[in-house]
Chain A
Amino acid sequence: MMFLRSCSLALRCRRFTNPQVTIRAFGSSRTARKDASENALDLDAWKSVMRSQALQEDSKIPSRSALDDNRELVEMWHQAGKFVPKNITDEQLEDLAQLTTRSAKKKYLKFLAIKESHKITKKEKQEKKKSEREAGEREQEELRNTFLLKFWSSSLDRVQSWRAAQAMRFGQPLVYDMSYEQHMSRRELENTVAQLMESEGCNRRASDPFHLHFCNLQPNGAYHRELLKRYGSHTWERLLITATERTHLEVFPQRDLVYLTADSKSVLHTFDHSKVYVIGAMVDRSIHSGASLANAKRLQLATARLPLDEYLDWECGAKNLTLDQMMRILMTVKDTGSWKKALEFVPKRKHAGFQQHSSGFTGAAKSRFVRNDSSESRFVRNDSSESRFVRNDSSESRFIRNDSPESRFVRNDSPESRFVRSDSSESRFSARAQNQLKNKTDGRKKQPERAQCREDGH
């Protein structure tokens, strides 16, 4: 170390003079010293080069605002190789200045850096494509002859708009409750509006749309501004939904409202077409458990949650679903009545598949058991089964505590074969049991089929 320092000092005084004079004092082999001295020559040469590049500085601005400080922070972090954007707008700098802690600033800058890198890669791709296109020959597109008229997208828009307008007059209402401004951060609000747009679009494309209401939407509130920003004022004016600042309690009678929230204790088993379902327009990345339930409790509304536990083998993940997932689920269950089809829209990473045996029951089950008692002959074969069918509770053990081979066999059967074997009484018994098993979802649909079975028996 000392040797090098003396060398570098020597260099600074007189560049490129022969340093071997100082070296001989140490008495080692000459060639090694020569290499080392050349290295020493090299090792500090960069310092002199850098010093000569001193920045031509303009006089420092005496008044430094928070914005300037933050801009400098971002610049220097970028030069130091940290994951921050190269260019940052004034608006973003203001947001950055609002954040106080180091980690908050870093996270925000990381987000901006990722956005920037996406933009850059997109631009590069575009330019590449452009250059390729120009390089390659332009192929002549053949004019195609066809008797089919082209279906323009504006025609599709018109069809969908008519359907939406019809839904506004005659369709079932669905309410999004927009009263969660205080609970959400800016980012969560942006996410909420994105999800609302997504669900509105999905609704518009459906064959039987809901009549969407955005209730509690304060004009010039955060929601409204964000919606205007995303939709654009032109589209927002012409959107076929009802956006009002009245609460849902003022628009609909209290007995018709059902608030859907994951914290509710009562489960929604059948979709009621006469009720108005309310969904809280909230994204809770920062968990506010019970916020939507609190809102429902305050207004004394009925609450319900989706039958996720009843149908899905839940693994890990929040049971709060996004707004567009909710829309799709409700749409599907309205159209088909089948929870199995509807709950396909729950993200697959959260669950391990549908449960093999279900423990759900529906309101229609009671009437079914009344009918079963009338035909006793079928239950003679199996004493335990009679008691099973008489007892009306929904416990899963009914199906498990079952040692009769037929019902076990029945559970795995496919629905089609049920009608094939309708001549023998045995299969009719099995059909009956199978009905009970399958009846969780589509109670009303199966009734005419059951009647058919019974008629065959008699």
Chain B
Amino acid sequence: MKKRAGMDTEELSPLRTRGSVKIPPPDHPLTISEWAKLKESSSKPDHFEMQMMTGLLATNADVNIAKSLLAYVVQDKGTLTYELLLRYLTLCVSGGHHSEVFDTYDIMTTCFKTLDTGASSLFIKGFSQTERWREALVVLEGMKKALLPSPRNYSDAIAGAALHGEIETSWMLYDELLELGLVPNQDTWQCLFQSGISQQGQEDKLFSVLSYMRDNQIYPEEPLIKTIKAWFESLPDQKWSGKFSYVAPSGECKNCKASLESIQLTEEEYAELKDKVMKKVIEGSDVFKKTTPEELNSFKSFVKQRPPFDIVIDGLNVANTTPKATHSETLLAVVSELEQQGLNILVLGRKHMLQPSRNWDRQNMNKIKQKAHCFFTENISEDDPFLLYAALHSGVHCNFLSRDLMRDHKACLPDSATRRLFFKWQRGHQLVISHYAPGKRVWFQRISAYDTIIQTSGSSWHIPYDENRGDRATYEVPQKWLCLTQEH
């Protein structure tokens, strides 16, 4: 939820006048006597000034009315409070009244010790739009005390530098932003790519921006992708041409017919993921939370004794696919289908599945045991970590079948790089049942063969992007791509 700079998510003090009649602010500047009369008629004279100023701000009124109000308050009280000046400043910045912003800056810096975070943000935004943009950098420096400046502050400052042609400064600010560990806004990048179009010689830096987006799995939104396309096409002598398109499920770009990067992990990535999952997800800080050491060891030896599996099934999750059939029937149908395809199956479940009941029929369970290897954990243990262990330890080709998004297990991983690896592995190896009706065949959703990430092959670039400002959830990936090819 993006609110105005300086008023972002900061709470207003409880000066709300509830229950009292709100006087609407006037629509033209009043004289001092008129203001005094208005104040007398209000129900809460103490909060009159703030109320009026907030009202003017809300209706985005003429700045002269606000000025007349300030003149009245000076007459009445002799001085102005910080809060009142802050609201006035918000009005000026949002209305673009630059001279007022300058004056207010002078006044506030002389009358008060320092500026607070809200005022600083407003000043950065305000100054960046004018020729005194360098002072915004001074304010930015001054903000780095108890709290770091936010990415939005840097975005405004970079926009100011770029607007006035100082490309060096804007890149310096961008590097500072990355050093502080903040994540840049899409606006920042848009500004940088725009400056790249107008001023040549920044190819390296902009390519490094693209590789940053690749490393952090960030997808540009629609305005940014258009700017990127325009930048590519503006590069002289390189003759890039861009087209928005889709990718076929096999991994071929519809536009240029090139195949995209595979979703499979490399050997090192795989080994690292295996290790991290074992340490953080299964054992975690306390192995007793999800299982017990004895159970874990018995499972490890179980997996070691058996040949590598081709598919690992989350028994409870699969059994709950449809309410039309009993659990054991569904599970049996799925296992039979996969057995027919000749796969080596492991079914994971819990010990209560072995108790005969309406849902877990003994005969069905016996048939399942004949067709697949089975492992049943204690009823109080979690079976998902075992699923991940078995799938990862059986090799690169092993898939797992579950509808679970595994977000809670992904969250146990320590850093974002490992989490991205996990997500990539999950997209490439998780099978989901697309539909099943009792008596009919079981159908599975297709796993994508390509990795949805910014990639280049030297002579072409493929960039996935979010259209419509991202209706997608965090566990989904965008479907639309920008395909950039070079003509020879």
List chain A positions with a Cβ less than 8 A from chain B: 1, 4-5, 38-39, 42-47, 49-51, 53-55, 57, 64, 66, 69-70, 72-73, 75-77, 79-83, 97, 102-103, 105-106, 110, 263-265, 290-291, 293-295, 297-298
Contact = CB atoms under 8 A, between A and B. Distances in A.
5 contacts: A4-B64, A42-B71, A43-B71, A81-B50, A294-B289
B26 interface: no
A297 B292 contact: yes
A43 B29 contact: yes
A401 to B, nearest CB: 15
B114 interface: yes
A105 B11 CA distance: 13
A46 B73 contact: yes
Contacts of B15: 81
B103 interface: yes
B380 A76 contact: no
Contacts of A290: 289-290
Given A45-B71, A70-B146, 20 more contacts: A1-B99, A39-B29, A46-B73, A53-B79, A55-B111, A69-B145, A73-B145, A73-B146, A77-B117, A79-B112, A79-B116, A80-B10, A80-B118, A81-B82, A83-B14, A103-B9, A264-B380, A293-B380, A294-B286, A294-B289
Contacts of A82: 10-13
A83 B83 CA distance: 12
B115 interface: yes
Contact of A54 (B9, B50, B110): B110
A42 B32 contact: yes
Task: Say what secondary structure dominates the interface of chain B.
Answer: loop
A79 B14 contact: no
Contacts of A75: 113
Query: Which range holds the interface residue count of chain B?
Result: 35 or more
A102 B147 contact: yes
A47 B70 CA distance: 9
B397 interface: no
B479 interface: no
Interface string B103-134: 10011001111111111000000000000000
B116 A80 contact: yes
Contacts of A42: 31-32, 68, 71
Nearest to A4: B64
Contacts of B145: 64, 69, 72-73
Contact of A79 (B29, B82, B292): B82
Given A66-B146, A105-B147, A50 B112 contact: no
Contacts of A72: 113-114, 145-146
Interface in B249-292: 286, 288-290, 292
A81 B13 contact: yes
Nearest to B73: A46
A57 B109 CA distance: 11
B320 to A, nearest CB: 19
B17 interface: no
B99 A5 contact: yes
A162 B138 CA distance: 71
A83 B67 contact: no
Contacts of A53: 79, 111
B116 A46 contact: no
Given A38-B31, A297-B292, A298-B288, A50 B79 contact: yes
A38 B34 CA distance: 13
Interface string B367-398: 00000000000011000000000000000000
A51 B106 contact: yes
Contacts of B70: 43, 46
A43 B112 contact: no
B71 A46 contact: yes
